[in-house]
Amino acid sequence: GDSVTQMEGPVTLSEEAFLTINCTYTATGYPSLFWYVQYPGEGLQLLLKATKADDKGSNKGFEATYRNETTSVHLEKGSVQVSDSAVYFCALGLRSGANSKLTFGKGITLSVRP
């Protein structure tokens, strides 16, 4: 079945450090890939998406590229801020069909210290 594997956490960085969060996937067909963020005490919200191979999603300084050849969609940010402290989830979804479901990774907690 479809699955998503995220790097183990938690991750602690100093402000303005470079961030990479690894995510690889296994899927039948051609999934769409998503990064969701969960701030403390809140629900998940979409951070960015990449819906086909070589697509680059970006938002709030975060970027992720859909790499079909390595089945990965690593999340990157050049300079993190304290306000980026949150839990980050990688997810994949079927591109079409009645079963529009997301498969989530376990999530990784990012803490950014001043």
Partner 1 sequence: NAGVTQTPKFRILKIGQSMTLQCTQDMNHNYMYWYRQDPGMGLKLIYYSVGAGITDKGEVPNGYNVSRSTTEDFPLRLELAAPSQTSVYFCASLFGASYNEQFFGPGTRLTVL
Where along the sequence are the contacts to partner 1 (CB under 8 A)? 32, 34, 42-46, 49, 51, 89, 93-102, 104-107
Nearest approach, Cβ of 7 to partner 1 (angstroms)?
13
Number of residues written out for the chain: 114
With respect to partner 1, which residue has the nearer C-beta, 19 or 31? 31
With respect to partner 1, which residue has the nearer C-beta, 17 or 38? 38
The string of DSSP letters for 23-85 reads: EEEE-SS--EEEEEEE-TTS-EEEEEEE-STT-EEEETTEEEE-BTTTTB--EEESS--GGG-
Nearest approach, Cβ of 79 to partner 1 (angstroms)?
26
Nearest approach, Cβ of 56 to partner 1 (angstroms)?
15
